[in-house]
């Protein structure tokens, strides 16, 4: 599952897969965006380490 970017009522976010946690970030803030992206990637690594095979 790839990390993807989206936007909902709470603002822009990164998410791993379709049902992972949404990591919101401040629009226009590069540091905030990169931090959210790294958190989503970390979630993917944790899922794979726990046995996720998708």
Residues 3-23 pLDDT 10s: 999 999 999 999 999 988 999
Q: Output the pLDDT for position 19.
A: 85
Ordered by start, the domain boundaries in the chain are 3-49
CA of 46: how far to CAs of 26, 31, 34, 41, 52, in Å? 25, 22, 18, 9, 9
Could you tell me whether strands 22-24 and 11-16 are parallel, antiparallel, or unpaired per DSSP bridges?
Answer: antiparallel
Asked if residue 28 has pLDDT above 90, the reply is yes
Asked if residue 49 has pLDDT above 80, the reply is yes
């Amino acid at each position: 599952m790839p990390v993807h970017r989206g936007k909902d009522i709470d603002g822009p976010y990164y998410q791993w897969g379709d049902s992972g946690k949404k990591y919101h970030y401040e629009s226009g803030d590069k540091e905030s965006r990169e931090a959210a992206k790294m958190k989503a990637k970390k979630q993917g690594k944790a899922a794979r380490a726990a046995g996720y095979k998708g």
